[in-house]
Structure 1
């Protein structure tokens, strides 16, 4: 059983870190390392047992992993086509399709390098394989912890419920994506009210060039049309990005109540990145997510993950350079 000690230790550190501050990407990495350590320990135990069944099971796990990669690639490709058909050909709608093509390109490169056995191709293939494994691991960490973060307990007291905007249809109509956030905000507000809190709701969103009114005003109208009290709504109508949503909403909360606590509402695919941003800005509050259409979720999740990778660009560039050096060493030793 000692083979599982590293996984157990990592899990204890993970729990301690989550209790201290749940809005950290390092928590996601710790969760991923815990799962990876447990999997490696299990496979090592099976192989070390010396039994034929153990070796077969270990081999089956690896085979299932390989088939899983191919299946995931196919699903990403189909999802990419669906996104283009339903949402249009903008760059942000092509992330799942680009991810599928990238995986196929890496597989083709590795096969070509293995067959040709030329030093340059082997070096490039080693670099590409390292970067792909690294990004794949981080992506699984991101998805796994995002799922967990969305189900963590939200504190009982909150002075504000902040709803992040996401654009309007036809310049004035709240789209389904934004409507799900507003519906979720009403649920959160009702739950807090039952606990003896009476928080205000801040609708956050400015006016885009193709919009007839600020998003926050349309969001407030959506709430009041469904019976929400007008006097409990505050409008933040200057922001144009998530960062500005949070920054300007923070200014409103701090001005009225320096010791505020809040709950921020966005869609589930966006919740963890919004939490990372809120922590970076010093906002005292957690983020909850609302449901998202199934077909929209994979592409949006990849987009959010890409934004997180860019946010930690220094660390990731350093890791990529290490893989590049490794590829050069493979090329030099051939």
Structure 2
């Protein structure tokens, strides 16, 4: 059982960090390390047992991982084509397709390096494989923890409900993506009101260059047209990014109640990164997500992950350079 001690310790650290602050990317990393340690211990246990059943189990686990990789590539490729057909050919909509092609490219490179064994190919293959494993680990940890975070309960009471804006259709109309946020915010507000509170709902979003009015105004109008009390809405109409959404909304909340607590509403794929930004900007509140169209979720999740990588760019660049150095050493040793 000592084999599983590192996994158990990492899981305890994860739980302790969750209790202290759930809005940390490090929580996702500790969860991923706990699962990875448990899998490695299980694999070692199977192989070292010396039994036929153990060897078959280890082979089956490796085969399952290979099949999972193949399925992932196929799903990403299909999703990439869906995004092109439904959302257009902008760079942001190509992430699923690029992910599928990237995985295929790395596998082909590693296989070619293993067959030919030329120094340059071995070095490049080692660096590419290391970087791919590192990014894959972070991505799977991100997805798993984001899924968990989206199912955690928020506080029973809150003074504000903040809805983050997004672009408008035709410069003035609320699109389905934003409508889902507003409807979720309305349901959260209703639930908080039933618990004895009277929270204020803040619609947050400024006016883009191709919009006829600020997003927050269109959002407020959408809610009032569906029966939401206009006197319980405040409009934050200066922000153009998620960070500005939170900073400017924070100023409104602190002015109204310095000891405020809030619930922030966005789409489910965006909830965890919004929580990370909320912590960084000092906003006292948790984030809930509204549903998103199934075809849109994979590409949007990859986009959110890339944005998190950029937020921690110094650490990721340092780790990336280590893998490049490993490739150089592999080339030199050949």
Q: TM-score, normalised by structure 1?
A: 0.99
Matches within 5 A, 1:197-216: 197-216=197-216
In structure 2, what is the equivalent of residue 265 of structure 1? 265
Between the aligned partners of 2:113 and 2:277, the Cα distance in structure 1 is 41
Aligned length: 334
1:175 aligns with 2:175: yes
Counterpart Cα distance in 1 of 2:326 and 2:278: 36
Q: How does 1:192-231 map to 2 (within 5 A)?
A: 192-231=192-231
Q: Which residue of 1 aligns with 2:99?
A: 99
Partner Cα separation in structure 1 for residue 47 and residue 97 of structure 2? 38
Shift of 1:5: 1.2
Q: Structure 1, residues 68-115: CA drift from partner, whole Å, max 9, x if none?
A: 111101110110010010000011111101111111111111111112
- TM-superposed CA distance for 1:153, in Å, is 1.5
Residue matched to 2:138:
138
1:307 aligns with 2:307: yes
Whole-angstrom distance in 2 between the partners of 1:157 and 1:75:
40
1:151-170 correspondence to structure 2 within 5 Å: 151-170=151-170
Following superposition, the deviation at residue 48 of structure 1 comes to 2.0
Flag structure 2 segments of 5+ consecutive residues without an equivalent: none
Counterpart position of 1:36: 36
Q: CA separation in 2, counterparts of 1:216 and 1:227? A: 17
Secondary structure at 2:62 match in 1: helix
| Structure 2: distance between partners of 1:92 and 1:322 | 28
In the TM superposition, what is the alpha-carbon distance from 1:4 to its structure 2 partner?
A: 1.3
Could you give the per-residue CA deviations for residues 238-270 of structure 1, whole angstroms, max 9, x where no partner exists? 111111111110111111111111000000000
Residues 146-191 of structure 1 show CA distances to partners (whole Å, capped at 9, x for unaligned) of 0000011211121100000011111111111000000100111111
Q: After TM superposition, list the pairs within 5 Å mapping 1:1-334 onto structure 2.
A: 1-334=1-334
> In structure 1, the residue corresponding to 2:228 is in which secondary structure?
coil
Q: Distance in 2 between matches of 1:195 and 1:54?
A: 54
Q: What is the CA–CA distance in structure 1 between the aligned matches of 2:220 and 2:116, rounded to whole Å?
A: 63
Rounded to whole Å, the distance in 1 between the matches of 2:85 and 2:152 is 35
**Aligned Cα root-mean-square deviation (Å):** 0.7
1:271-304 Cα offsets, whole Å, 9 max, x none, are 0000000100011000000000000000000000
Deviation >2 Å, runs of 4+: none
Q: How far does residue 41 in structure 1 lie from its aligned partner after superposition? A: 1.3
Distance in 2 (CA, whole Å) between partners of 1:280 and 1:193 is 28
Give unpaired runs (5+ residues) of structure 1.
none
**1-structure distance, mates of 2:91, 2:120:** 32
* Cα deviation, residue 67, structure 1: 1.5
Give, in angstroms, the shift of residue 232 of structure 1.
0.3
User: Matches of 1:172 and 1:326 in 2, distance apart?
Assistant: 53
| Deviation, structure 1 residue 44 | 1.5
Task: Choose 65-74 or 314-323, whichever is displaced more.
Answer: 65-74
